Structure 1
Amino acid sequence: MHKIITFCCLSMIATVAVNAYAQEDDSDLPEWAEEQIEPFRERVGNWVDNTSRRIDGFFGTDDYMQAENESYLRLGQELDWMEGEGVHAETTLRYRIDLPTSEERLRLVIESDPEESQGTLEEQGSGRLANDQRDRRSSTLGLDWLKSRDKRENWSNRIGAGVRLRLPLDPYVRLTSERLWQLGDSPWQLESNNRVSWFNNDGYSARTRWDVGRPLSERRHLRFITNVQWREEEDTLEYSEIAEINHRINDRSAIRYSAIALGESASNPRMTNYYLQTRYRRDIHKGILFADVIPELHFQRDVSYDPRWAMTLRLEMYFQREITRDYF
């Protein structure tokens, strides 16, 4: 599997270098590989969709077959290397079972890896979550109450409660609030995403994210992102500043250039890491199979800001009935 990931990622780099803007087919795979993948993807995707709808029908209304369902299963394989730390390999499984008709505004949701379990801002931003958070793998079962509002006009709020599925069971409560503003007549938009939560085993946590951006052209978008996070488990205020340019190369490829600064502590603020990141993402096969190449250059405080290279190679397959193309 590791050799397959490396081959796919190197192949897609060569593809984009030779044919960046040309019209392309919807797959890089040879015909024999498509014949193997398509039936398997369709069977698993239909199983995910049918299973979630049957559960939804048991708890919800007779509209469960017609309601939009966002359930998915995502299988990934990742190779991660950082200078001085060696290579790590990890297989990841992410899923979400969406039950939209349980009540008019009450949704029963089952999902893996809740946001609160995804570690520090550095772990979230560097793409090394799978390797650094093995002991945090968990699933949640809960009810989300949706206050249905257009976030361009009002604050859109979501209140959720449930349990983390591990022994002993870990109850939680979560409040999420979002808002989107158009800044006057300019092309700039400002988005705010905020979350406060409590888990019985981990205590309280809070996170706020402010994202301001604008299109630079039909294919390029500029963003500046500020994150602030506090978790009772760590009892440290963390913050990050990100400047990034997203470039849609063609219908199947995109690349992101990022400069990131990470810091911590409110009473004695200090920067802990600066790094440059490039993330190239390629739709290898029909919105189902994706590959990422993510090189990084880190300047970390704990090694006296000496430069350290890092590289992540990732291959992901999505299983759901309705295929959606996910870039970033």
Structure 2
Amino acid sequence: MGKHIFALMLLLTAGVTGADETNDSDLSPWAIDTITPIHDSVTRWVDNTARNIDGFFGTIDSDSVDNESYLRLSTDFDWAESEEFDIDPGIRFKLDVPTTEERLRLIIESDPEESRGTLEEQGAERLRNDTDGLGDTVAGLSRLGSRDKREGWHTRVGAGVKLHWPVNPYLRYSAERLWQLGDSPWQLSSYNRASWFEHDGYSARSRWDVGRPLDSTRHLRFVSQLQWQEDYDQLEFSQSTQLNIVLGKRSAIRYSAVIVGGSSSNPRVNDYYLQTDYRRDIHRQYLYWDIVPALHFPREADFKPRWAISLRLEMLFRAQLTRE
């Protein structure tokens, strides 16, 4: 699988002709002719599979409502100073069953957030945060709360299993809230989750994000995160300041300054870093290219500067419109 994805990514990279905001693609005609039939075929399979399962568990409306199921393939090219160059192909998918009665949904997804490691291992969030692979895939039922998160806490309770042997049952509870801070343009959002996996133990995470638009193309954010995992047994924290800028209809960039640390009894910073994340829609909202240079000051290197860069090519398979 990894070799095939890597070969496809090289083929697509070779077909990029350059940045042009006047159309919906940067690919050359031969690359478009090569990937379009493959993408359309896989997208139909993903959409039909999701709707057939939805129709079995849900209602007859499954063929006409929006379905958020998707499949995403990616390849990361990572380099960090004093470390080896790494190529990491990944798959992420989500199966959504939106018409199940009484707000009960069947969810199958890869790369659950409980499997992404410590905050220091995760690094900064990309403009689109993915992916690891099929080794951490969960399947379960999730009951959604009925409240809009702008009016009250929107909650979700779920249970299921992680799909590998031995079977690893889990329970989850999450709550989200969004506040408009008075008459100002500032908004505050909160996301919180508590989880239990039989083989991994308990974990809890909280994210608080306050931000405001500066103008039509720039958005300022301050993001605070807390995380605790039983197997790591240390409270972690991170604080970031982000400036997001829309460069055009198909590209955006994020500038970030981040602090990552841990321990509740004796807090200490483990890494400072500056990061730029440039994201480009290179073909019709399903093929994307990320370039992410960063300058780290890690404790393990006595806070001496260490350069790193990540390149990612990503292809999304998802039906864009509701069926008629």
1:158 and 2:152 correspond: no
Structure 2: stretches of 5+ with no match in the other structure = 1-5
Q: Distance in 2 between matches of 1:84 and 1:4?
A: 26
For 1:231, the equivalent position in structure 2 comes to 229
Aligned pair partner of 1:172 in 163, 166, 170 = 170
Aligned pair partner of 1:275 in 261, 273, 288 = 273
Contact 2:9 2:75 in 1 (8 A): no
Identify if the C-alpha distance between structure 1 residues 232 and 306 changes in structure 2 by more than 3 Å, giving closer, same or farther: same
- SS of aligned partner of 2:269: strand
Identify if the C-alpha distance between structure 1 residues 303 and 164 changes in structure 2 by more than 3 Å, giving closer, same or farther: same
Q: Distance in 1 between matches of 2:12 and 2:158?
A: 42
* Residue 64 of structure 1, CA deviation: 1.1
Identity %: 54
Alignment of 1:84-95 (within 5 A): 84-95=82-93
Alignment length, in residue pairs?
315
1:99 and 2:97 correspond: yes
Aligned pair partner of 1:110 in 104, 108, 111 = 108
**1:235 partner amino acid:** D
* Residue 3 of structure 1, CA deviation: 10
* Residue 127 of structure 1, CA deviation: 6.4
**TM score, norm. by length of structure 2:** 0.92
- SS of aligned partner of 2:164: coil
Q: Distance in 1 between matches of 2:256 and 2:309?
A: 14
Q: Distance in 2 between matches of 1:6 and 1:83?
A: 28
- SS of aligned partner of 1:283: strand
Alignment of 1:111-130 (within 5 A): 111-126=109-124
Identify if the C-alpha distance between structure 1 residues 309 and 261 changes in structure 2 by more than 3 Å, giving closer, same or farther: same
- SS of aligned partner of 1:37: helix
Contact 1:8 1:291 in 2 (8 A): no
For 1:30, the equivalent position in structure 2 comes to 28
* Residue 306 of structure 1, CA deviation: 0.7
Contact 2:12 2:31 in 1 (8 A): no
1:261 and 2:259 correspond: yes
For 1:247, the equivalent position in structure 2 comes to 245
**1:63 partner amino acid:** D
* Residue 37 of structure 1, CA deviation: 1.4
For 1:80, the equivalent position in structure 2 comes to 78
Contact 1:74 1:93 in 2 (8 A): yes
- SS of aligned partner of 2:82: coil
Identify if the C-alpha distance between structure 1 residues 285 and 315 changes in structure 2 by more than 3 Å, giving closer, same or farther: same
What's the C-alpha RMSD, in Å, of the aligned pairs? Answer: 2.4
Identify if the C-alpha distance between structure 1 residues 186 and 127 changes in structure 2 by more than 3 Å, giving closer, same or farther: closer
Q: Distance in 2 between matches of 1:309 and 1:7?
A: 27
Q: Distance in 1 between matches of 2:13 and 2:251?
A: 14
**1:213 partner amino acid:** G
**TM score, norm. by length of structure 1:** 0.91
Alignment of 1:168-317 (within 5 A): 168-317=166-315
Q: Deviations over 1:241-291 (max 9, x none)?
A: 000000000000000000000010000100000000000000000001000
Structure 1: stretches of 5+ with no match in the other structure = none
Q: Deviations over 1:215-247 (max 9, x none)?
A: 011000000000000000100000000000000
Q: Distance in 2 between matches of 1:255 and 1:323?
A: 27
